[in-house]
Chain A
Amino acid sequence: MNCGSDKVIYMDNNATTRIAPEVVDAMMPFLTDCYGNPSSMHTFGGQVGKSVEKARIKIADLIGADPSEIVFTSCGTESDSTAILSALQTFPEQRHLVTTRVEHPAVKSLCDSLTQLTGHKHRTTRLMVDSDGMLDMNSYREALSEDTAIISIMWANNETGVIFPVEEMAAMAKERDILFHTDAVQAVGKIPINMKKNQIDFLSISGHKLHAPKGVGVLYVRKGTPFVPFLNGGHQEHGRRGGTENVASIIGLGRACELAAATMEEENTRVKALRDRLEQGLLASIPKSMLNGHPTERLPNTTNISFEFVEGEAILLHMNRYNICASSGSACTSGSLEPSHVMRAMGVPFTAAHGSIRFSLSVYNTEKEVDYVLEKMPAIIADLRAMSPFWKDEE
């Protein structure tokens, strides 16, 4: 199947990323000849096990962790569920959770359905964000209670790229002896993270957000943190996660983490400059457009811009005609009838929330691509506005 990847201008990297060619190369032997089971006694399988351990070290190195703190999972969602449910089982008498209004569904929906999963009623404090998408530290402090079993707050928001001060929040949690989990799937590989310098207990990683394949994730579990497995089974991952390892993808993730360490600086200089060029260009050339999310406390690759009086799905489909890939927080793209919960939590007015577009870049984007998008967007928005009953030309 030819899906035209050579033609697309891919600016939807917070949704998923291209698998780096180096990652594919690293994986190939494990999809072909080296098919042994890492748990086997024979050398044929055992050598695969050694490769898995090497990958574990590379992943640990990227985030300043000890390899023993890395638990492989199938995806970011599994990592999130594992951490939260582990804490609730560790402290069955503590029925309170603290999270935010802007979490990814992996955490949001889990918190909504805890009663079904645990058989207990839980109280969840969902912290508000301001119009920049930032949390209020005082509300956070006040939310913590004797009854709090775990705090789960994302490191960076997938829709806006806004970064939360999770390290500071984890330190405050530690003072109160409360476990702290962070969904860091958008942050790992994009901004420097050093687990030796913070007190976060659990951290979720997703492979496909950093140029590794889909279907592999990691849960970082700080040494000494009480842990109850989510998947029970064999002794894999030292009994912390049953199920035969997704070897090839784990090897791929190891290689991807190595690459991410090497491109971290580029991500925060060249990619950031591209993002800024795109953002400033769009805001300057398109009237009634605005940035969603804090201007600086943000991932280097993400920009979320609202184009007032037009609807996101319509914008995306016009962009699609030029092979430009991005996302929208509009109601229509999600199949629900309301704009994204993140836009609503930030209080983005409806006129703008329905027309929000997220561009998320990667090291594979070029200046030429950014210029192409800057060339096409004004006409797309103008055409749709000409059709909109709310758009007045004189504005």
Chain B
Amino acid sequence: MWEYTDKVQQHFMDPHNVGELKNPSGTGDVGSLSCGDALKLTIKVDDSGIITDAKFKTFGCASAIASSSVLTEIIKGMSIDEAAKLTNEDIAEALGGLPKEKMHCSVMGREALEAAIADFRGVILPMAEGEVVCECFGVTDLEIIRAIKESDLRSVEEITNFTKAGGGCGKCEDRLREILQQTVEGITADKVKPKKGQRMTTLQKIKKIEDVLEREVKPTLRKDGGDIELVDVDGDFVTVSLRGACSGCQSSRTTLKEYVEKKLREQVVDTLIVEEDK
């Protein structure tokens, strides 16, 4: 059973603005039956660019219906320029939040709105272009990149929650990981490794540890006149020796545990234990 807010339940049980406007100024049609949810949004825009009316028809679960309903409430009375700035987070917030697995419902609302505005303006949405990454749900790389940026996504699972990409056969998972990596600066390949913990060979582990030390740890320590060398890796135990200003430094243990171990755990294996060679 999903934890739906009162607001979601209200909008689901008693949705507002159900239907289809006659002679709409713009129509947004997104989703499909095969995807499990779809939304047709029609809007009426007056001469001064204000959305005077909006109606929806939705096929989908409670959160899809509630997202559509609350969307029509939000945009009524808004100028088309204001409405164009609406994000899926705005929709989710208006509902008092959505379960994370259901965030894609709010994204569908935003997409329908965008499509309706584009239709009103007579332009073609750039989202229709781009390369289809998830074939099950027809999600393009441009849509995924946008969701990562807008909603600050940090894992493949989150991408699936927001865009549905990867939620079908799962074949595009590697590609999603790649897009995530390219999109988010500072996220290394290691942080987004597959959920099912890959077992590394000792050799691979050593290589990774050396890499992290070389790339991130050493430059930082060197700034303070210190340095670090890898001595041994035995299972989860990583032995290092601290050099330069670090050796004999009072706070070397803190550096080791709070900084070096943390870095290695983040990027190599989260069970590593770093000890100083004495």
Contacts and interface: CB of A to CB of B under 8 A. Distances in A.
B37 A311 contact: yes
B189 interface: no
Interface stretch (A40-48, A81-89, A384-392): A384-392
A336 B57 CA distance: 23
Contact of A337 (B15, B38, B59, B137): B137
B136 interface: yes
B36 A337 contact: yes
Given A314-B65, A336-B167, A337-B164, A389 B36 contact: no
Interface string B96-109: 00000110000000
A69 B38 CA distance: 53
B13 interface: yes
B51 interface: no
A335 interface: yes
Contacts of A313: 2, 61-62
B276 to A, nearest CB: 35
Nearest to B41: A389
Looking at A312, A339, A350, the one whose CB has the most chain B CB atoms below 10 A away is A350
Contacts of A206: none
Contacts of A388: 57-59
B40 interface: yes
Nearest to A336: B167
A321 interface: yes
A331 interface: yes
Interface in B21-71: 29, 33-34, 36-40, 57-62, 64-65
A166 interface: no
A351 B34 CA distance: 7
A319 to B, nearest CB: 12
A297 interface: no
A332 B60 contact: yes
Interface string A309-320: 111111001100
A354 B33 contact: yes
B137 A350 contact: no
10 contacts: A314-B61, A318-B13, A330-B36, A335-B101, A337-B167, A338-B167, A339-B36, A386-B18, A387-B18, A390-B38
Q: Closest 6 A-B residue pairs measured CB to CB?
A: A337-B167, A332-B61, A313-B61, A389-B57, A389-B40, A350-B34
Interface of B: 2, 12-13, 15, 18, 29, 33-34, 36-40, 57-62, 64-65, 101-102, 136-137, 160, 164, 167-168
Given A311-B36, A313-B2, A387-B58, 14 more contacts: A309-B59, A311-B37, A311-B61, A314-B65, A318-B13, A331-B36, A332-B64, A335-B101, A338-B136, A338-B167, A339-B36, A387-B15, A387-B18, A389-B38
